[in-house]
């Protein structure tokens, strides 16, 4: 495996880990807020609306991140190759 391919793989793995970490933190935050506010919501209709809203946020954000990670995997040579090219050029110019 060439140096460029190794760098691309490393950047992709890092981005993938970061994306899934953020999704895990989103789930924790939303579920924590839901759990903490649930006893303070007296109306059953409002509870249902809050539950549906929280579920929508979690499902749509998780799906969006999954789609992004899948796209990055399919086109990582272009995406990360371009990033690496620009990073190397900036290092050469002494801007990093």
Dist. CA 21–CA 23, nearest whole Å:
5
- DSSP letter at 43 equals -
Number of domains in the chain: 1
pLDDT of residue 94: 79
Q: Please give the average per-residue pLDDT across 55-72, as a whole number.
A: 97
Report whether 96 contacts 90 (CB < 8 A).
Answer: yes
pLDDT of residue 71: 94
- DSSP letter at 38 equals G
Q: State which residues form the domain around 73.
A: 3-93
Residue 95 has pLDDT above 80, yes or no: no
Dist. CA 38–CA 46, nearest whole Å:
10
pLDDT, tens digit, 9 for 90 and up, residues 2-57:
898 999 999 999 999 999 999 999 999 999 999 999 999 999 999 999 999 999 99
């Amino acid at each position: 495996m060439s140096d460029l391919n190794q760098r691309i793989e490393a950047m992709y793995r890092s981005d993938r880990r970061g994306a899934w970490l953020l999704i895990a933190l989103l789930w924790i935050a939303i579920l924590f807020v839901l759990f903490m506010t649930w006893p303070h919501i007296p109306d059953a209709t409002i509870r249902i609306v809050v539950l549906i809203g929280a579920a929508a946020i979690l499902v749509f954000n998780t799906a969006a991140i999954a789609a992004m990670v899948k796209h990055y995997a399919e086109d990582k040579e272009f995406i990360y190759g371009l990033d690496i090219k620009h990073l190397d050029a900036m290092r050469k110019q002494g801007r990093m």
